[in-house]
Structure 1
Amino acid sequence: MLGELMSITAALRRLSRRRTAEAVARPRLPEAQRELLFVVANQPGIGIAAAAQALDLAGNSVSTLVNQLVEAGLLHRDPDPADRRAARLTLTAKAHERIAAWRAARAALLGQALDRATPADQDAIANALPALKRVLEQVRRDVAEPPGRDA
């Protein structure tokens, strides 16, 4: 079951990522940059540390991505009013346009396939989502505090 789950989710993600990138403006962005833009789109004003946690990346890796996206005109990095040493991230208008294009392309690709699925398959997928989310959260907790490690 584990191998099949990983294979199917990886294939869906890879196919979706490839086809969506083809439908969106050039130049193509690396996957890590796209993922960061989606995190910021979903949580405007997020800080770098929280973005790193959401992406399961090191803070310095996200700082590098932020610098690249600021330079590309896709991200604003503003000082946090509560802590001038910290930054708050928001999308530029250009990034909002790209995100909308990615979402439309992804919805066209995967949404159409889901719409053609049988009602039973649609229900099974919808019913599996909460369990998959719980598994993801458990893996995140295990990575943060591996089982069997004395606290």
Structure 2
Amino acid sequence: MPPRSRSSAQSQDARLLTEAVTRLRRALRASIRTDYPWEQLPMAQVELLQVLAEHSPARIGDLAARQRLATSTVSGLIGQMINAGLVARAVDPADRRASAVTLTDAGRAQLAAWADAHERRLDAALGALDEGEREVVRAALPALFRLAEHLDETAASRCR
């Protein structure tokens, strides 16, 4: 049997990585809802909370661009989050004609609880692996972060 070409091997790797990431996300989402039934935040809202934790205050248009979503979609999500007390809208300090969104204390607490629940769940799953498997996962983390950065950069360049 001839060796696989690099492009064929890369395609296989890409397919398997897609499958692994999809299965991990699905399993984590399902286990969180089962193990922590209080956790009801939609993932889109969690992702906006995460962005606001890093970049706050932020205009809705900037949030939409950062998340690669329509401004109207982000505006609707922010409206729901304002009603839930997770974020607040105020005058943008950089431009008094515009408004900006910030995390509230309740939003920070909800995001911290979400992160803690996920970390506990992943910690338990990692504990089920043997040390060799945990080391493989640990060793892959830097490359996975670089892969995510590359994907972000590629998507951002296409939006320009």
Q: Same fold (TM over 0.5)?
A: yes
- Structure 2 segments unaligned to the other structure (5+ residues): 1-12
Higher relative contact order (CA 8 A, sep 6+): 1
Identity value in percent: 35
Match of 1:46, SS?
coil
The offset of 1:91, in angstroms, is 2.1
Q: 1:115 to 1:90 in 2, by over 3 A?
A: farther
1:106 equivalent in structure 2: 118
Match of 2:102, SS?
strand
Aligned length: 146
Larger radius of gyration: 2
Give yes or no for contact 1:24–1:102 (8 Å, CA) kept in 2.
no
Moved over 6 A (4+): none
Match of 2:112, SS?
helix
Describe the superposition over 1:101-143 as per-residue Cα deviations: whole angstroms up to 9, x where unpaired. 2122112110122244334333332332232233223333333
CA–CA separation in structure 2 for the residues paired with 1:69 and 1:129: 32
CA–CA separation in structure 2 for the residues paired with 1:97 and 1:145: 34
Of 17-26 and 76-85, deviating more is 17-26
- Structure 1 segments unaligned to the other structure (5+ residues): none
TM-score between the two structures when normalised by the length of structure 1: 0.77
1:25 equivalent in structure 2: 38
Q: What CA RMSD, in Å, does the superposition of the two structures yield over aligned residues?
A: 2.5
Aligned amino acid, residue 86 of structure 2 = L
TM-score between the two structures when normalised by the length of structure 2: 0.74
2:47 equivalent in structure 1: 35
1:68 equivalent in structure 2: 80
